[in-house]
Amino acid sequence: MKTANERPELVYRHNRVTRFTHWLNALALLILLMSGLQIFNAHPHLYWGHTSEPDTAFFSIGALNEDGDIRGYLRLYGRQIDTTGYLGVQHGALAPSLRAFPSWATVPGYYSLAGARRWHFFFGWLFTLNGLLYVLYNLAVGHLRKFFFTWSDAKKVPAMIAYYWHLRKSSPQEGEYNPLQKMAYTSVLVILTPLILLSGMAMSPQLNVAFHWLPVMFGGRQSARAIHFILTFGFLSFVFGHVFMVLTQGFFNNMRSMTTGWYREKFPSSGKPPTKPREPRQDIAKALQEEQPPQESSELRTKAKITDDPAVQATPALSGETPPNPATLPEQEGKQDVEPKS
């Protein structure tokens, strides 16, 4: 809401590379999520360690047949939750099908592990290269440090939370991003993204041959798969929070900044009282007067004005005197220059 102490002003917030990579990452993340859910459907169980032994899964999504009634469930460390109609089973036109995640949430919509892996690998490399372009370019132009979380920002986090909860009138934000935004973006950039990429690479048998330390880094290939799955929903929670802030903190303004680059920022107006006018400096005024040329008297200015007037020059004098003949002027001047004889 615009207040009396704020003045809106358009500022150029996002450059072209930032806007391009942002929307490309949004598309890549969507396909990665949906294809990843289809890959999970092939084996909807998670384990810790190197192997996937029966009855050792700490997380499962499945279905049970209870006297002809198929019920979906989600099991986490032995605790089972009924998820019929959402997860575990999908009721089709002909018969119910066992699916951890429904067809509308997966790519492709039909069951195909090979197809899902192709979608996932392609957009995984696209996400990686696109993110690398984003980081390198914005590091070069200095945009990256605008939202990088620092120790001084950490001190302002409680005040920013109080502002969002309407417990504080003024925002502690300085610059384009507030402390909570910086903390979220830095966490995703420095922690979440590298871990989700490395855990995904640790599940690949081909990469394990060249980088055998990757599965060991996560405690085994099954542990890497579990961590990858958990981090995926961490990424999803960040996206939900990001979209929520866009919707609630000025949807059109935020969308304009990410499509055209221009953002309408509210800057606090100056609340200082008007300053008292300074006393005139007599010494400066005197010096300026001395530098000016002397002014002519009013009589000389009037005479010059009358003489320069052509109408006056063409009119004979009212006293009856005949105006001098220009031809006789040199002779008269010569007579005046000769001294009279004694």
pLDDT digits (tens, 9 = 90+) for 2-17: 455 556 788 888 899 9
Q: Hey, what are 224's tokens?
A: 């890497």
Is residue 142 over pLDDT 50?
yes
Confidence of residue 325 (pLDDT cuts 50, 70, 90): low
**Are residues 89 and 99 in contact, defined by beta-carbon separation less than 8 angstroms?**
yes
CA distance 120 to 32: 5
Q: Which residue has the higher pLDDT, 138 or 305?
A: 138
SS3 of the chain: helix, strand, coil, percent, to 5? 55, 15, 35
Residue 93 pLDDT: 75
End-to-end CA distance of the chain: 105
Is residue 333 over pLDDT 50?
no
Q: Which residue has the higher pLDDT, 282 or 99?
A: 99
Q: What pTM value is reported for the model?
A: 0.73
Question: If you average pLDDT over residues 13-31, what whole number do you get?
Answer: 95
Across the chain, which distance is largest between two alpha carbons, in Å?
A: 161
CA angle 233, 234, 238 (to 5 degrees): 110
Residue 280 pLDDT: 53
Share of the chain above pLDDT 90, in %: 56
What H or E segment, with its residue span, contains residue 182?
helix 179-187
The 3-state DSSP class for residue 41 equals helix
Mean pLDDT lowest among 24-28, 207-211, 260-264, 299-303: 299-303
Residue 116 pLDDT: 97
Residue 176 pLDDT: 79
